[in-house]
Amino acid sequence: RKVCFLMNIYIACALTHVPREIFHEYSNWIHSLAKGLSQNNNVKYALINSDPALSKRPESNKSRLCYIWDRDMVEKSDVIIAECSFPSTGLGIELQIAEQNNIPVIICYKDYGINKTKTIEYVNPDETTHNLQVGEGFISHMVLGLPNILDVILCKDIDNTCRKIKILLDMINHN
């Protein structure tokens, strides 16, 4: 029987363009997710482990430091929990860093009632008409196509979400 080790978990998430009217609900969800996964794990995420420190740095250094610090947290992780309820360039970069380093990713997302997009028809220069491919409307096909994704979880409540994630973490930890 294998021994379970403390896992280094990074919660990747959108922050910059999360709609301000639900930002507090969203950030509380991220904190709850971290708390629910922190027993026997080392959990890091930007709201705690980089953004507060960035606020104390000169504006001219913030972007570079954000990239360096968040990249470091991704690269030192055993697994990434990607909260993908909202599109984010930074989150996409973090997911690509994880893929390049063969770090498994568990995607989770919530339906906030304002974050589901619809397809739209468009016309190309050759006058052909197409429907934009948006899948279910929550997470882009580009993200869902990453080869290191273990699972995609539609979250309803914190207890069930953490239970599902812990089952996947247990699988990773025993391999």
Q: How confident is the model at residue 3 (pLDDT cuts 50, 70, 90)?
A: low
Task: State how beta strands 149-154 and 129-131 pair.
Answer: unpaired
Rounded Cα distance between 11 and 1, Å, is 29
pLDDT band at residue 163 using 50, 70 and 90 as cut-offs: very high
- Average pLDDT of the residues in 38-62: 95
pLDDT digits (tens, 9 = 90+) for 71-84: 999 999 999 999 99
**Could you give the angle at the alpha carbon of 66 between the alpha carbons of 113 and 55, nearest 5°?**
85
Residue-level pLDDT at 6: 86
- pLDDT exceeds cutoff 70 at 9: yes
**pLDDT, average across residues 63-69:** 97
pLDDT at 175 over 90: no
Residues 6+ apart with CB under 8 A from 48: 34
